[in-house]
Amino acid sequence: MAVKIYDTTLRDGTQGEGISFSVDDKLKIAGRLVQMGFHWVEGGWPGSNPKDMEFFQRAREQEWARSHLTAFSSTCRVGQRPETDVIIQALLEAGTYWVTVFGKSWDLHVTEALNTTLDENLRIIRETIAYLVQQGRQVIFDAEHFFDGYKANPDYARAVLAAARDGGASWLVLCDTNGGSLPWEVQEITRQIGQEFALPLGIHCHNDGELAVANSLAAVQGGATMVQGTINGFGERCGNANLCSILPNLTFKMAAETIPREQLAHLTELSRYVSELANLHHPNNLPFVGKSAFAHKGGIHVSAILKNPGTYEHLNPELVGNERRVLVSELSGASNIVYKAEELGLDLDNISAEARAILQEIKELEHQGFQFEGAEGTLELMLRRAFENYQYPFNLVAFRVINEKREGERFHSEAVIKLQVGDEIIHTAAEGNGPVNALDRCLRKALEGVYPAIREMQLSDYKVRVLNEKAGTEANVRVLIETTDGHDSWNTVGVSENIIEASWQALVDSLAYGLLKRKKTSGPQE
Amino acid sequence: MAVKIYDTTLRDGTQGEGISFSVDDKLKIAGRLVQMGFHWVEGGWPGSNPKDMEFFQRAREQEWARSHLTAFSSTCRVGQRPETDVIIQALLEAGTYWVTVFGKSWDLHVTEALNTTLDENLRIIRETIAYLVQQGRQVIFDAEHFFDGYKANPDYARAVLAAARDGGASWLVLCDTNGGSLPWEVQEITRQIGQEFALPLGIHCHNDGELAVANSLAAVQGGATMVQGTINGFGERCGNANLCSILPNLTFKMAAETIPREQLAHLTELSRYVSELANLHHPNNLPFVGKSAFAHKGGIHVSAILKNPGTYEHLNPELVGNERRVLVSELSGASNIVYKAEELGLDLDNISAEARAILQEIKELEHQGFQFEGAEGTLELMLRRAFENYQYPFNLVAFRVINEKREGERFHSEAVIKLQVGDEIIHTAAEGNGPVNALDRCLRKALEGVYPAIREMQLSDYKVRVLNEKAGTEANVRVLIETTDGHDSWNTVGVSENIIEASWQALVDSLAYGLLKRKKTSGPQE
């Protein structure tokens, strides 16, 4: 059995509360999904906003665009023709080979929401698809509210699918838009439709009943061969069907062919990467990919696990790129550190007491919210401090940041920094449009004279995450900074209960790492 | 069809990472569950820790204890007799009428984890239950790893159930302990067992495949008449089956008799209450009971919802005590703001030029990154400014925040604020562990004298998001703040390129909205 995977993180996923991606983020995610073998990536709705249009303009130049990229749209509007409807013209302008068109398949929606006749709804579906096919597009038809529609008026729901088929759609996708269907209903209705229509079927579920994964699997049992969903189940209300759970269930539990098995070993990484770009916390209890998904508390479990992992694990965590964690010892990060140190060619056999202290510091930082994936620059600096006695190129003597606002005046931020570089003391000041920007400008101003290479380095990304949110403004804050010199980019991190201090740490590391990198590649020259 | 509900939040739920309840908390939760009609409340494992024993000593005095309270335990140990095993004696000491005993039903576990023979395992199950029955107890038998055991060795799994039956158990509960089973497997195995055993069956699922709710419902389809689970799906790894989703699915989708329907209208409240006592964030996207479960974002959705809620809702939110929410965001049309204004009872027919200007301001703020979907407090203040000439209870004259660090010293943050309240000028200062915390403390210090109600308001969540991240430290920053007065919570927002200014805006709105809310509910009194 082969099941194709259709990702709509970048379109339906962004309907979730608090989820939005920049165009750059969307391009990065799309590239990664395609690389992992996802069959379709739905990039957005070009007719609905300029950001999505920009995405398609940039994405269609990718070599994978023709085979994997799809653009989403409604049909043409009631009373209009697709040839002249701006929505459909915007869809064509997006320039994708695949397009996904949704239409209403619940009679109630046609009369109550769309305010038109049942026949007119069939016409706009049929004519829109026919026109798009005529324009050389492959059309996937999303039958919105299909299961509710089928339960209310099965003949009309069938007529909608027939209109899409007659228009020339390649796929019929049955949508549980309100997310309230039960697995056995989904399975049985999918089975019936499969008997009546010769086209391949897809399934699109929402999680309002906490059944989106089960409903998607049930549809596959009923004959669907495409599953739509999102990474981490992002999506409106309670979310869309979570592909991070559907993929391993299909592949390892139901023996279906989905994306290549070796790519599934990157699933955990993908899941965390997408949360990171969305700037959302990655819940520990996420099935398969969460930090606690294979965590074992002490006692009976642990000794059994040591004898035979199958006793308390439903799946080998390595298959999805996750790892076993034993909560009593909190040993999880150590192997990452060892791996990284080995990668840097550091001598692990000869760990001094000082190195051990720094490793301990790394583990504590990790416990506070440090993340290796996002901040290799800082990690490398720490490891080199531990193993090679690395020294920062400058030392802080003092700094001060002042933020001021007076009635009717603009907000004002100013930073004053005093540094020691070698024997020299540098004392300078700068303004900025915020405290961190003032600090960044001031630090550069202080160091540019001694290290001209800093002029080539630019901050390219700045992210803030409150770690233990319930603590309010007393919480720990993590600042992630990406810096680029035009060729390469690197990431550094700072963690503190004070956002200015966390930003300072990340800023200092970003410049220090940039200088270290330069020294490594060009050899000693100072 | 009647299905009994068995809650194990207080026992299996507390195996979840970071979840622990005081004895008082446990008593409160147990009382509430019983009041709502839950059939059993599993209070803990008296043999495993003194806290659980204290709970039972206090709980068994409740008038509902005999009918609803159950204590959990293993069987007696290998090679021992129940009469003399301390674990079983502790169970009896707990003094409950109902007891729940678990035993291994997977041959692999018996030989690999328990290190004994298959026959000895049957003996300890049978004899433990027989002894407890002889002591006047009603015994529920949890068959651990039943589905994995049945798949590996169906005859032995059956022999385990037979041993429990022969010992005198009242219920046989089939457990998917590792959480990896699929719904159709669970349904079919439950159906088979139901044909072979005359005792009533229960189901106990874990969520490792994101299928715990579906598996529980599938077992009911297969003939189970008791469902075990936890509030909010609390539990080890990926959690237990979530009763807050199972209950409405069983009751409203499958027409089963569970707890009284009028009690289901308290489900949302219960869910939030248990999270509150566990001191855990209540995820917005929780099915049925989450804040976003009935939230609508897209413009099309909203206009349809206004005509007929059934178009985009799988269930009337009032049935589970939740409410419809309309999110105002960049993706939405004007109808969302109109809906919100109508909800507040504002007169939309009479929009002044000033009101129109404020509506325009709202749209522009949205464009800048104000996300009103997470910040109804700020939105309401703006709408009341537009339609009711709302005035803030204080005006800023000036403020200053200083952050300082000197070599070898701790980071230091101090805020100075000057406010006008009526004719009075208040000028004060405070320190904090970060600039925003210093500002928060200083603002409260300044206002507490005039508005004592502020003392009851506490920041409960603080979120920072960099909007246009690629702009580095010159980017716009959005700060979302959640404030609570112990009963309710509300959200406010600030956006600026300066994080201190954005935090200030959100802080000011959080207190202003809290005061407005209080005035609304208690009537004018100042």
Distance in angstroms (rounded) separating the CA atoms of residues A104 and A77: 12
A314 contact residues in B (CB cutoff 8 A): 178-180, 208-209
Residues of chain B by 3-state class (helix, strand, coil), percent to 5:
45, 20, 35
The shortest C-alpha distance from B436 to chain A (Å) reads 6
CA distances from A187 to A192, A215, A244, B154, B252 (A): 9, 8, 21, 27, 20
pLDDT at residue B200 greater than cutoff 50 = yes
The residues with which B464 forms a beta bridge, in sequence order, are: B479
The shortest C-alpha distance from B17 to chain A (Å) reads 8
pLDDT at residue B526 greater than cutoff 50 = no
Q: Where are the alpha helices (DSSP H) in B238-371?
A: 243-248, 261-264, 267-278, 299-307, 334-343, 353-368
Q: Are strands B412-421 and B424-432 parallel, antiparallel or unpaired?
A: antiparallel
Angle ∠(B478,A229,A78) on CA atoms, nearest 5: 85
pLDDT in tens, B317-360: 999 999 887 765 444 445 566 677 777 777 666 566 666 676 67
Q: How many residues comprise chain A?
A: 526
- Residue of A11, A14, A17 for testing the chain B interface, max B β-carbons within 10 Å: A17
Distance in angstroms (rounded) separating the CA atoms of residues A61 and A65: 7
The token pair at B148 is 């994995």
Look up residue B220 and give its amino acid: V
Counting Cβ atoms within 10 Å, is residue A198 exposed (0-12), middle (13-18) or buried (19+)? exposed
Distance in angstroms (rounded) separating the CA atoms of residues A130 and A168: 6
Nearest partner of A403 among B478, B426, B498, B445, judged by Cα: B498
Helical (H) or strand (E) element with A138 = strand A138-144
Percent of chain B whose pLDDT exceeds 70 = 89
Which residues 383-422 on chain B approach chain A with CB closer than 8 angstroms? Answer: 395-407, 411, 413
- Following DSSP, what letter does each residue of A48-110 receive, concatenated? T-HHHHHHHHHHTTSTTHHHHEEEEEE-PPTT--TTT-HHHHHHHHT--SEEEEEEE--HHHH
pLDDT of residue B277: 77
Q: Are strands B171-176 and A325-326 parallel, antiparallel or unpaired?
A: unpaired
Distance in angstroms (rounded) separating the CA atoms of residues A309 and A302: 9
Q: Which residues contact B243 (CB under 8 A, 6 or more apart)?
A: B5, B7, B227, B229, B230, B231
Helical (H) or strand (E) element with A7 = strand A4-7
Look up residue A117 and give its amino acid: T
Q: Which among A210, A242, A503 has CB closest to B245?
A: A210
Nearest partner of B44 among B72, B16, B64, judged by Cα: B72
Q: Is B281 close to A214, i.e. CB distance below 8 A?
A: no
A18 contact residues in B (CB cutoff 8 A): 371, 373-374
User: In 10 A of CB A101, how many CB atoms?
Assistant: 26
- Residue of A217, A238, A367, A460 for testing the chain B interface, max B β-carbons within 10 Å: A238
This complex has an ipTM of 0.75
Q: pLDDT band for position B497 (50/70/90)?
A: confident
Domain extent listing, chain B = 4-259, 295-383, 394-450
Distance in angstroms (rounded) separating the CA atoms of residues B60 and B65: 5
Q: pLDDT band for position B206 (50/70/90)?
A: very high
Q: pLDDT band for position B525 (50/70/90)?
A: very low
- Residue A86: half-sphere exposure toward Cβ, Cα within 13 Å: 3
Angle of helix A334-343 relative to helix A376-388, nearest 10 degrees, comes to 80
What sign does the CA torsion over B511, A20, B284, B462 have? negative
Q: Is B496 close to A411, i.e. CB distance below 8 A?
A: yes
Strands of the sheet containing B489-496, edge to edge, are: B458-466, B477-484, B489-496
pLDDT at residue A103 greater than cutoff 70 = yes
Nearest partner of A24 among A65, A58, A61, A68, judged by Cα: A58
Q: Are strands B477-484 and B458-466 parallel, antiparallel or unpaired?
A: antiparallel
Distance in angstroms (rounded) separating the CA atoms of residues A494 and A400: 18
Distance in angstroms (rounded) separating the CA atoms of residues A451 and A424: 13
Nearest partner of A14 among A213, A276, A282, A278, judged by Cα: A278
Contact B190, B223 (CB under 8 A): yes
Q: What is the average pLDDT value for chain B, to the nearest integer?
A: 88
Among A55-64, A222-231, A268-277, A380-389, name the one with the lowest average pLDDT.
Answer: A380-389
Nearest partner of A457 among A433, A428, A422, A490, judged by Cα: A490
Angle of helix B267-278 relative to helix B23-36, nearest 10 degrees, comes to 170
pLDDT of residue B102: 97
Distance in angstroms (rounded) separating the CA atoms of residues A26 and A32: 10
pLDDT in tens, A145-156: 999 999 999 999
Q: Which CATH fold would you assign to the domain A281-332?
A: H-NS DNA Binding Protein (4.10.430)
Q: Which CATH fold would you assign to the domain A395-522?
A: Double Stranded RNA Binding Domain (3.30.160)
**pLDDT higher at A363 or B141:** B141
Find out if CATH 3.40.640.10 is the number for domain B4-259.
Answer: no
A298 touching B, CB under 8 A? Answer: no
B365 touching A, CB under 8 A? Answer: no
CA distances from A398 to A382, A450, A499, A506, B403 (A): 22, 19, 17, 16, 11
**pLDDT higher at B355 or B116:** B116
User: In 10 A of CB B249, how many CB atoms?
Assistant: 24
Among A12-21, A43-52, A292-301, A411-420, name the one with the lowest average pLDDT.
Answer: A292-301
Distance in angstroms (rounded) separating the CA atoms of residues A295 and A411: 48
* Radius of gyration of chain B, Cα coordinates, nearest whole angstrom: 28
What sign does the CA torsion over B210, B214, B216, B222 have? negative
Distance in angstroms (rounded) separating the CA atoms of residues B434 and A498: 4
pLDDT of residue B482: 86
Local structure of residue B249 (DSSP, 8 states):
I
CATH number given to B394-450: 3.30.160.740
pLDDT of residue B341: 76
Q: Where are the alpha helices (DSSP H) in A291-400?
A: 300-307, 334-343, 353-368, 376-388
Q: pLDDT band for position A371 (50/70/90)?
A: low
The token pair at B33 is 């569950």
pLDDT in tens, B208-237: 999 999 999 999 999 999 999 999 999 999
What sign does the CA torsion over A190, A194, A197, A198 have? positive
Q: Is A213 close to B210, i.e. CB distance below 8 A?
A: yes
User: In 10 A of CB B501, how many CB atoms?
Assistant: 25
pLDDT in tens, B444-491: 999 999 999 999 998 877 777 776 654 555 667 888 888 888 778 888
Q: Which residues contact A84 (CB under 8 A, 6 or more apart)?
A: none
Q: Is A405 close to B396, i.e. CB distance below 8 A?
A: yes
**pLDDT higher at B22 or B503:** B503
User: In 10 A of CB B307, how many CB atoms?
Assistant: 11
**pLDDT higher at A369 or B265:** B265
Angle ∠(B128,B130,B134) on CA atoms, nearest 5: 115
The token pair at A314 is 């439903």
The shortest C-alpha distance from A347 to chain B (Å) reads 31
Q: What are phi and psi of A254, to 5 degrees?
A: -110, 5
| 3-class state of residue A525 by DSSP | coil
The token pair at A124 is 């706009």
Local structure of residue A338 (DSSP, 8 states):
H
B209 touching A, CB under 8 A? Answer: yes
A435 contact residues in B (CB cutoff 8 A): 403, 435, 498-500
| 3-class state of residue A436 by DSSP | helix
Counting Cβ atoms within 10 Å, is residue A450 exposed (0-12), middle (13-18) or buried (19+)? middle
The token pair at B26 is 């446990």
The residues with which A462 forms a beta bridge, in sequence order, are: A481
The shortest C-alpha distance from A145 to chain B (Å) reads 9
pLDDT of residue B464: 79
The shortest C-alpha distance from A342 to chain B (Å) reads 31
The shortest C-alpha distance from B215 to chain A (Å) reads 9
pLDDT of residue B195: 97
Distance in angstroms (rounded) separating the CA atoms of residues B501 and A72: 39
Widest CA span of chain B, in angstroms?
86
pLDDT in tens, A165-212: 999 999 999 999 999 999 999 999 999 999 999 999 999 999 999 999
In this prediction, residues A402-408 reach a mean pLDDT of 88
